[in-house]
Structure 1
Amino acid sequence: MAEHRVGDVRPTQLLHTYGVGAMVDLPNIAAMVMGLDDWKLQYATPVGEERLLAAVRGQLGPQVERLMLPPVDLDESSRDPLNGPRIGVPVAAFPQWYRCPWCDLVAPLSSGLFELQSDPYRPDRVRYRHVSCNRSPNPPAVLPTRFQLACKHGHVDDFPWLQYVHSGSTNCNGPLRLRKMGVGDEAANLFVHCDSCGQTRSLVEAFGDTAKADPLFACRGRRPHLRDFEPGGCTEHAETMLLGASNSWFGISLSALSIPRHSDPLPQLVEDKWVMLQLVTSPEVLVAFRAAGNMRGLEEYNDAKVWEAILAKRSDRAKQEASTNLKEPEWQVFSTADPTRNTVDFELTPVAPPVGFESFFEKVVRVERLREVRALVGFTRIDSPGDYADPSDIPPDMRAPLSRNAPTWVPVSEVRGEGLFLQFKRDVLLDWAAKNMGRKSEFLAAHAGWKMARNMPNPTDGFPGLRFALIHSFSHALMRQLALQSGYSAASIRERIYCDDGTGLPMAGLLLYTAAPDSEGTLGGLVSQAEPARLGALVRQALDSMQLCTSDPLCGEHRPANDGTASLHGAACHACQFAPETSCERGNKYLDRSLLVQTLGNSAVPLFL
């Protein structure tokens, strides 16, 4: 099968926006990113991050061997677009049905009515043309139809145009026309017409209660990214969805920070270079590696010591993989903040707490340099995985697989940047939480009601606690203020909340950071705000901005709802607390600015009086 380059996306988008199973809406065509079985690994780059690999194995199984950066053509400018290798991510046309804007013909690509026109020098000009159109003097470019079917079990399918216009199975094969009869583009103005038998049907019937009662919309269990169907079929009812809808694909990902795990330099160097050193199977191989110049950074250690460290790493690996908790080791490194353990990918400098808030914070840490690796382990459709506290809580029938067989590798992104870590005094938070048991009950009831409305088992499980809501709300308040002062946009600042649920390591803190794929990281705009007097002023401004909201009194009087709605927040809205999707860990849930400061209609005891 011929391969054509059809467009470009950034490597990080392959995890957040256009991952496996996602649809890429290009200028003239629409394509779906194919499963890992179709990827060419010879152009991918292995990445070392042992903690993340252990967590991925906990999700997908012990057969996962590697974390890989997606294939990227680093020499694109000098490569022959006609005869050079096809380096990139494989995609296939989806949906398969296209429409001619001149004659309104709707037909699948398999009909042979549309011809692919490629341009190796201008991938953005790749298109299908209607070669037999009788309305246009030249074969016009056709566009993908804007409707598709999707279900909550991760399946997606072409809209059943032929069966839809005939209200079921039929022997009539069209041709079909999709016509607009009105000034707007809403479904009520779109009609499918069969030229052969004269049947016409409005697309408004493809939505709402009419579609729910129509057996035509029973899901077939199709998985286009794997080129197959669900082996056991699907019992879900499919929903009509617009091409490019924001809920058509949600990536399930795990991320880890590259933290130092050893106090001695040699074991840490072996850890950092394990992607290469794991190939060393004997002292003789080690000698060959050194002769080939593959031992940079280890020149001051002789072969015997390096081999001993490699053996120690292998024997310790099983113990390291026994725990898949990603945040507790990070918390231990941040809370101790030992500069002597800094590495090339992780550099900390402890500073004094913010001026005026010494009674609330244990310490502040300038994270001068950090590295984050994020792995894609699956995806969902319609329902977001952010609704679950942990990816392992997502029901198996909701998770769409990345490959037909159990994957032996997963795609990752690698970014470097900087950040601020703030550690609360845990005893202060415990005393505060004891004064707000009523508000805790409200959040717990809303959490349980939300889970019951979605038929999720154990309604009270996974409740992060009121202290989490406090730290989370403070994180969003400070994030907004940092966006005004640091020069970074709100969407480029991410949070990482460290809060225990009473069963694990005691934690109470947050990391706000920004990162970029560039090997040099970012420009220092966040760490420059960590100076105690400056950070104290920032915290004060952030808290002052939380006292009033432009949506008050409606926002200030809002309470978490226990009726199963999406309202898992108190006094919070887009005008005061909500953050961009890329920034928030919990999908803007468990937020309440009245936990921080006095607000209109406040019934809680705020921490910062």
Structure 2
Amino acid sequence: MTNQTNHRYKVGELRPSQILFSFGVGAVVDLPNLSVMVMGLEDWSTHGALELNEQRLLAAVRWELGHQVKQLLSPPTPEDTTSFNPFSENAKVGIPVAPFPSWMVCPRCRLLAPLSSGLFKLKESPYRPDQTSYVHTNCPKGFKEPSAIPSRFLVSCEKGHLDDFPWLHFVHRKNPDCPGRLRFEEYGVSGSPTDIFVKCDLCEEQRALSDAFGEEGKKNMPKCRARHPHLRHFDDSCDEQMKTILLGASNSWFPMTLSALSIPTASNQLEQVVEQNWTMLGKATTVDILSGILQAFQATGLLQELSKYPTDKIWAVVEKKQAQPQGNGDDESAKDLKSPEWEAFSTADPTANTPDFQLRKVNPPSGYEKRFSQVVLVERLREVRALVGFTRIQSPGDFLDSGEVLTDYRVDLSRNKPKWVPASEVKGEGIFLQFKEETLQSWEQSKRSQDYARQAIEAHNAWCAIRSLDPKIVRFPGIRYILIHSFAHALMRQVAIECGYNAASLRERIYSKLPGEDTGPMAGVLIYTSAPDSEGTLGGLVSLGEPKTLGYHIDQALEQMKLCASDPLCAEHTPSTGPISLHWAACHACLFSPETSCERGNKYLDRTLLVPTVLSGDLAFFGEAV
């Protein structure tokens, strides 16, 4: 990672997956001695980045961001070398960042000033990047120059703007032009805003930080300046009120990502191989160029699977694929990433297996043949994820519905329309369970289920009304989604005990559509795990998918759902209990999963739909089986 002020310095390291899910474009990275902002895509160098091949995902990204997007690129990484030279260009390959917030505090004299004042100087440490810091030159207290610390207060708004805390306006109120220096004083050890005061040396004005929070903050804080520091840009205007947040707050950055599984889309083996290597083969414009590409890559050990095919046959497939319309981002079907995956899983054709997608069909779980029509063991899978934007304050789960991204809340990754987006690929394994449609429809059509569905729709509409969201856009996913989602969480909690992976490394992918919907009906769930290395995972999850083993684990999962440690409070919870929410009988002690595991932010969960609880038993889909 580089610091982009006037010079480039390496200031730290991140894992590639963190660029998408923790510290992506627009996020604030809290380093040991620095706080930096990851800059927009215009500042990135694509040197050291690899192009990832996943045409379905690229089409979905084009639907969201425009047809000008040409590539999915991995974050740039420096080349592996035997010797480390911090002054080489290779050492400076990375993600561009800039210092943020720009206000620093001296821990000795408590001076609070911006970097633009010139009172703080960057002290580089080439061989120890984690020691790079800003120091307070000429500090009156102490012989050494103390390392300054970033101000831990920022302001943001729900439109995704982020800015430095308005210290001058906050302290001086009606006289922000006072030239006096500010001091950041803490009179207690708790770190509470009521114990923190900022005062001016010249006019002796002072103010407690507590005036910037809660109801007082609504009165005292100015309107948002509409700033995007990662783009070095201000929007025309913003009608939102500034909200004070803390540096490192979990709601300061939420990624908006799209993901797709690499499923076979070609009809024969040669077409499949060409599809898998399209990022390389698609650049050939003549048969001679294709021949040169094949020779160059096969000499390095790549594209060996094409060596058994004549070049003219390969060229015929490449030429045919190039002649196909590539889509310009206007095809609405491109955003539907799950329907083709559902088709692949429900068919489970072993002859269509590829090195990145290998399926094996087995019998339904023992004792649950009336609930599930089939189980598919996904012995190998590849998932590609792309970052398309981010939000602040409000999580994307609050207005994300089956790939529907509300652009009013999404912050752009670049000032101009991007020609590429950051992406990563992971490989792993999973278990796909398909619900029996006849049994599911019979359960949905019961009077008790229909009454529940009406109440759930009312709760969904009330939740949308509070957030000024249109229920026609943020659609209610249906009662079958709540059932499948709740079952997925219950099974993940049980499987994590046996499979050798921790709960945060398991993920769900839910397929749910009603019979009348486009490409419906769907009713299934993929529980999978993945890793960013070349081999993926080691089979610990797939081994649990055999009928007897899986039946046992479903038994155990449902048994745990009957009684929660928080009952009867958990069983009695409804969306209208307390603050409006979108879960029923679910909490951290029973159904909630880690943020990395759930695709809907622990919403639409209710264990009452699975098994009888201390409150109700007439809604349980698995009641008789249990």
Please state which band the TM-score falls in when normalised by the shorter chain: over 0.9
Tell me the amino acid that sits aligned with residue 503 of structure 2.
A
Q: Which residue of 2 aligns with 1:32?
A: 37
Equivalent-residue separation in structure 2 for 1:135 and 1:562 (angstroms): 55
Equivalent-residue separation in structure 2 for 1:224 and 1:460 (angstroms): 30
Give 1:320 deviation, angstroms: 10
Aligned to 1:287, what secondary structure does the other structure show?
Answer: helix
Alignment partner of 1:449 out of 439, 462, 476: 462
Of residues 133-142 and 308-317 in structure 1, the stretch that sits farther from structure 2 once superposed is: 308-317
Q: Which residue of 1 aligns with 2:70?
A: 65
Equivalent-residue separation in structure 1 for 2:327 and 2:554 (angstroms): 41
Whether 1:478 and 2:511 are equivalent positions in the alignment is: no
Equivalent-residue separation in structure 2 for 1:221 and 1:530 (angstroms): 51
Of residues 121-130 and 291-300 in structure 1, the stretch that sits farther from structure 2 once superposed is: 291-300
Tell me the amino acid that sits aligned with residue 298 of structure 1.
L
Equivalent-residue separation in structure 2 for 1:371 and 1:89 (angstroms): 25
Give 1:586 deviation, angstroms: 0.5
Aligned to 2:63, what secondary structure does the other structure show?
Answer: helix
Q: Which residue of 1 aligns with 2:238?
A: 234
Q: Which residue of 2 aligns with 1:390?
A: 401
Give 1:524 deviation, angstroms: 1.2
Aligned to 1:42, what secondary structure does the other structure show?
Answer: coil
Asked if structure 1 preserves the Cα contact closer than 8 Å seen for 2:427 and 2:534, the reply is yes
Q: Which residue of 2 aligns with 1:314?
A: 322
Tell me the alpha carbon deviations over residues 134-181 of structure 1, each in whole angstroms, 9 at most, x when there is no partner: 111200111000000101111100001111110144221221100011
Equivalent-residue separation in structure 2 for 1:311 and 1:49 (angstroms): 19
Q: Which residue of 1 aligns with 2:185?
A: 179
**Pairwise mapping of residues 242-253 of structure 1 onto structure 2 (< 5 A)?**
242-253=246-257
Of residues 321-330 and 237-246 in structure 1, the stretch that sits farther from structure 2 once superposed is: 321-330
Q: Which residue of 1 aligns with 2:117?
A: 111
Equivalent-residue separation in structure 1 for 2:32 and 2:54 (angstroms): 37
Give 1:523 deviation, angstroms: 1.6
Alignment partner of 2:513 out of 491, 495, 500: 500
Q: Which residue of 1 aligns with 2:3?
A: none
Tell me the alpha carbon deviations over residues 400-429 of structure 1, each in whole angstroms, 9 at most, x when there is no partner: 100010000000011111111000101111
Asked if structure 2 preserves the Cα contact closer than 8 Å seen for 1:211 and 1:217, the reply is no
Equivalent-residue separation in structure 1 for 2:531 and 2:547 (angstroms): 26
Asked if structure 2 preserves the Cα contact closer than 8 Å seen for 1:59 and 1:392, the reply is no
Tell me the alpha carbon deviations over residues 288-326 of structure 1, each in whole angstroms, 9 at most, x when there is no partner: 223324543211211221111112212334379732110
Structure 1 residues 580 and 168, CA gap change in structure 2 (3 angstroms): farther
Q: Which residue of 2 aligns with 1:516?
A: 531
Give 1:77 deviation, angstroms: 5.2
Equivalent-residue separation in structure 2 for 1:494 and 1:391 (angstroms): 16
Asked if structure 2 preserves the Cα contact closer than 8 Å seen for 1:451 and 1:459, the reply is no
Q: Which residue of 2 aligns with 1:279?
A: 283
Equivalent-residue separation in structure 2 for 1:251 and 1:461 (angstroms): 18
Aligned to 1:495, what secondary structure does the other structure show?
Answer: strand
Of residues 594-603 and 249-258 in structure 1, the stretch that sits farther from structure 2 once superposed is: 594-603
Alignment partner of 2:222 out of 193, 217, 220: 217
Equivalent-residue separation in structure 1 for 2:192 and 2:377 (angstroms): 51
Aligned to 1:213, what secondary structure does the other structure show?
Answer: helix
Asked if structure 1 preserves the Cα contact closer than 8 Å seen for 2:400 and 2:474, the reply is no
* C-alpha RMSD over aligned residues: 1.6
Whether 1:191 and 2:197 are equivalent positions in the alignment is: yes
Give 1:562 deviation, angstroms: 8.8
User: What is the TM-score of this pair, normalised by structure 1?
Assistant: 0.97
Equivalent-residue separation in structure 2 for 1:18 and 1:515 (angstroms): 20
Equivalent-residue separation in structure 2 for 1:3 and 1:516 (angstroms): 31
Equivalent-residue separation in structure 1 for 2:250 and 2:17 (angstroms): 18
Aligned to 1:444, what secondary structure does the other structure show?
Answer: helix
Whether 1:143 and 2:149 are equivalent positions in the alignment is: yes
**Pairwise mapping of residues 519-538 of structure 1 onto structure 2 (< 5 A)?**
519-538=534-553
Equivalent-residue separation in structure 1 for 2:65 and 2:38 (angstroms): 20
Structure 1, unaligned stretches of length 5 or more? none
Tell me the alpha carbon deviations over residues 413-452 of structure 1, each in whole angstroms, 9 at most, x when there is no partner: 1111111100010111111111211111111111000011
Q: Which residue of 1 aligns with 2:573?
A: 558
Tell me the amino acid that sits aligned with residue 351 of structure 1.
V
Alignment partner of 2:368 out of 353, 357, 360: 357
Alignment partner of 2:557 out of 515, 534, 542: 542
Whether 1:298 and 2:310 are equivalent positions in the alignment is: no
Alignment partner of 2:134 out of 128, 133, 156: 128
Equivalent-residue separation in structure 1 for 2:312 and 2:21 (angstroms): 44
Structure 1 residues 461 and 40, CA gap change in structure 2 (3 angstroms): closer
Asked if structure 1 preserves the Cα contact closer than 8 Å seen for 2:103 and 2:151, the reply is yes
Equivalent-residue separation in structure 1 for 2:555 and 2:605 (angstroms): 19
Structure 1 residues 320 and 329, CA gap change in structure 2 (3 angstroms): farther
Alignment partner of 1:270 out of 269, 274, 291: 274
Q: Which residue of 1 aligns with 2:87?
A: 82
Structure 1 residues 400 and 76, CA gap change in structure 2 (3 angstroms): farther
Matched length: 606
Tell me the amino acid that sits aligned with residue 280 of structure 1.
A
Whether 1:102 and 2:108 are equivalent positions in the alignment is: yes
Equivalent-residue separation in structure 1 for 2:217 and 2:487 (angstroms): 44
Whether 1:255 and 2:259 are equivalent positions in the alignment is: yes
Equivalent-residue separation in structure 1 for 2:426 and 2:403 (angstroms): 24
Tell me the amino acid that sits aligned with residue 152 of structure 1.
E
Equivalent-residue separation in structure 2 for 1:392 and 1:601 (angstroms): 35
Tell me the amino acid that sits aligned with residue 221 of structure 1.
A
Structure 2, unaligned stretches of length 5 or more? 1-5
Tell me the amino acid that sits aligned with residue 36 of structure 1.
L
Equivalent-residue separation in structure 1 for 2:140 and 2:474 (angstroms): 62
Give 1:347 deviation, angstroms: 0.8
Aligned to 2:51, what secondary structure does the other structure show?
Answer: strand
Aligned to 1:271, what secondary structure does the other structure show?
Answer: helix
